[in-house]
Amino acid sequence: MEKERLFVVSAILPIHVEKKDKQYSVKVSPGGLVTALKQALYKRQAIWLGWAGTNQINKELKQLILETGKKEGFALYPVSLTEEERKNFFDGFSNGIIWPLFHTFPAYTRFEPEYWQAYKKVNKKFANYIKKLVSKNDLIWVHDYHFFLLPEYLKESGVKNKTGFFLHIPFPNPELFFKIPWRIELLEGLLHYDLIGFHTYIDRKNFLDCLDELIDGIQIKVKEPITQIKYKGKTIKVGVFPISIDFEKYNSFAKQVKSLDKKRKLILGIDRLDYTKGLIHKLRAFKLFLEKYPEFHCKVQLVQAVAPNIKKLPEYDQLKIEFEHLVSEINGKFGTDRWTPVRYIAGRLDFEKLIAYYRYSDVCWVNPIKDGMNLVGKEYAAANIDENGVLLLSEFAGAATELYKDALLINPYDLEGTAYTLYKALTMKDNQKSKRMKNLRKHIQKYDINWWSNAFLEAAFDRKIEDFPVLEEDFPLHEILQLP
């Protein structure tokens, strides 16, 4: 009997392609999803399908991508898109409609009909690629908001494999979701998956409420841990699987990092440049904090790293300008020749520096307006091995549904409340800090990334990571990808 392999689909492959002097180089990017799936993929006969981040896929690059995957022990397969498809599918439907709306930013949406056409077209394209590569028993795990329609097209093209879907971003309530002109098609598309997974119970509730109001004849039986839906003779499972991190990696790396040359208390922010991350609200609350608590002048510094966003949309340029303006305003108003209140790092920190900041910062400030999960708070706790830090966490991050007891929760819209909670974090007694941090670390260690992958795979396919076939010494890449 043919073995069941794991077939992963994400919009973008977890790689970074560079071209220098007409020579390509390809590296696997150390993003969250790779880490999450590494154990299930590594040296197993898994295939990962996605767009390579460039439209210029030639034979040489394709080969290089295959070889890069091979080194990691799994097959990477690039999907080709035209520039128009890329623009209307990524910038248009995915990041110009779903991303802002699902993160409660309806004013940023543009419901252009050509975006919808591209979304359908690219979902169909992915279905055709999968059809070519999939074997009868493969289990297909699809990731994120780019693929609501994919399982329907897979069925239409005769692919009958089991499919599981995980949404990495929040699911909105009906009032927001109903704005989408193609709302019924999106829900009906999703209902072709065998399992649909969310980060939180709130997301699941929102999804079920939308189904209940929009889909005639649907039967929903809310049950823990897995809810069952019956629709058109099919049973669809819905579950809650809060994603996590590789706790051991952060915990053990933190033991090796060099100490920071610290002159004052550090408040740390690690974010991608995105309007969902609450960066402007954070700076405004910090400004208020400095106004209200002058005793902290010269004694604290907000270190805020802002990693660039690959999404090229006007909202991001605008955000960068506004953010940088506010940094200068705060530093100009409160700073002295010896003290810069906000240390803004424009760009990605290398991993070692990131871990050093996690270990030695007194407070980590996670301030999203809305976030599916947000892994930064979990990483901070895992690397805070001296157990003397405090996590300041927005109640609108998925992580708050798990960490609410031991983090200090904030409403990022409430600037006064946030400034006061920051004050509480900075003045908290050592025994309180260590008690809270111990509890956070215990929870994150128990519910780590392996817990997450296994919980999803078990619910979707009744399989665990170790059930997937291991590769022989010589990786038969061409055979796996059925290439000539």
Stretch that binds ligand GDG, among 43-51, 227-235, 365-373, 474-482 (CB under 6 A): 365-373
Residue 349 touches ligand GDG, criterion: CB under 6 A: yes
Total number of residues that touch ligand GDG (CB under 6 A)? 19
**Can you tell me which of 12, 127, 376, 455 binds ligand GDG, judged by CB under 6 A?**
376
Residue 351 touches ligand GDG, criterion: CB under 6 A: yes
What are the C-alpha distances in Å from 56 to residues 13, 125, 126? Answer: 15, 17, 18
Tell me whether residue 4 or residue 379 sits nearer to ligand GDG (CB atom). Answer: 379
Q: Which of positions 8-37 make contact with ligand GDG (CB under 6 A)?
A: 32
Identified catalytic residue from 194, 274, 371, 406: 371
Tell me whether residue 211 or residue 305 sits nearer to ligand GDG (CB atom). Answer: 305
Asked whether the beta carbons of 28 and 34 are under 8 A apart, the reply is yes
Selection from 477, 269, 247, 309 nearest residue 391 by Cα: 269
Min separation Cβ 59 and ligand GDG, Å: 32
Does 168 participate in catalysis according to the annotation? yes
Q: Which residues of 392-404 are buried (b: 16+ CB within 10 A; e: fewer)?
A: bbbebbbbbbbbe
How many Å apart are CA 28 and CA 315, to the nearest integer? 28
Tell me whether residue 196 or residue 480 sits nearer to ligand GDG (CB atom). Answer: 196
Residue 146 touches ligand GDG, criterion: CB under 6 A: no
Asked whether the beta carbons of 89 and 118 are under 8 A apart, the reply is yes
**Can you tell me which of 68, 374, 453, 454 binds ligand GDG, judged by CB under 6 A?**
374
Q: Indicate if the alpha-carbon torsion angle 318, 323, 324, 328 is positive or negative.
A: positive
How many Å apart are CA 319 and CA 325, to the nearest integer? 10
179 phi, psi to nearest 5 deg: -70, -25
Alpha-carbon torsion angle 305, 72, 58, 48, nearest 10: -90
Min separation Cβ 484 and ligand GDG, Å: 36
Sequence-distant (≥ 6) Cβ neighbours of residue 298 within 8 angstroms: 264, 336, 338, 339
**Can you tell me which of 372, 392, 453, 468 binds ligand GDG, judged by CB under 6 A?**
372
**Can you tell me which of 142, 190, 236, 270 binds ligand GDG, judged by CB under 6 A?**
270
Site string for ligand GDG, 460-479 (x = CB under 6 A): --------------------
**Can you tell me which of 38, 86, 125, 168 binds ligand GDG, judged by CB under 6 A?**
168
144: left (phi over 0), alpha (psi -120 to 50) or beta: left
Min separation Cβ 310 and ligand GDG, Å: 10
* DSSP designation for 349: P
Min separation Cβ 268 and ligand GDG, Å: 11
* DSSP designation for 162: -
**Can you tell me which of 43, 272, 284, 463 binds ligand GDG, judged by CB under 6 A?**
272
Stretch that binds ligand GDG, among 66-74, 344-352, 387-395, 454-462 (CB under 6 A): 344-352
Sequence-distant (≥ 6) Cβ neighbours of residue 483 within 8 angstroms: 477
Min separation Cβ 166 and ligand GDG, Å: 8
Tokens, residue 226: 């897995």
Asked whether the beta carbons of 124 and 73 are under 8 A apart, the reply is no
Alpha helices in 277-313 (DSSP H): 279-292
Residue 305 touches ligand GDG, criterion: CB under 6 A: yes
Residue 457 touches ligand GDG, criterion: CB under 6 A: no
Min separation Cβ 42 and ligand GDG, Å: 19
What are the C-alpha distances in Å from 324 to residues 272, 328, 345? Answer: 14, 6, 11
Does 146 participate in catalysis according to the annotation? no
Q: How many helices (H) and strands (E) does the chain have?
A: 19, 17
Min separation Cβ 370 and ligand GDG, Å: 9
How many Å apart are CA 92 and CA 113, to the nearest integer? 10
Identified catalytic residue from 143, 146, 168, 199: 168
Tell me whether residue 192 or residue 370 sits nearer to ligand GDG (CB atom). Answer: 370
Residue 243 touches ligand GDG, criterion: CB under 6 A: yes
Residue 343 touches ligand GDG, criterion: CB under 6 A: no
Min separation Cβ 118 and ligand GDG, Å: 22
Stretch that binds ligand GDG, among 81-89, 186-194, 368-376, 424-432 (CB under 6 A): 368-376
Tell me whether residue 74 or residue 145 sits nearer to ligand GDG (CB atom). Answer: 145
What are the C-alpha distances in Å from 61 to residues 53, 68, 132, 376, 392? Answer: 12, 10, 20, 33, 44
Tell me whether residue 334 or residue 456 sits nearer to ligand GDG (CB atom). Answer: 456
Separation of CA 66 from chain center:
25
Asked whether the beta carbons of 238 and 210 are under 8 A apart, the reply is no
Min separation Cβ 337 and ligand GDG, Å: 28
What 3-state DSSP class applies to 343? strand
Tell me whether residue 161 or residue 367 sits nearer to ligand GDG (CB atom). Answer: 367
**Can you tell me which of 85, 152, 362, 371 binds ligand GDG, judged by CB under 6 A?**
371
* Residues lying near ligand GDG in the complex (CB under 6 A): 32, 168-169, 243, 270, 272, 305, 307, 348-349, 351, 354, 371-376, 379
Residues that are catalytic = 168, 371
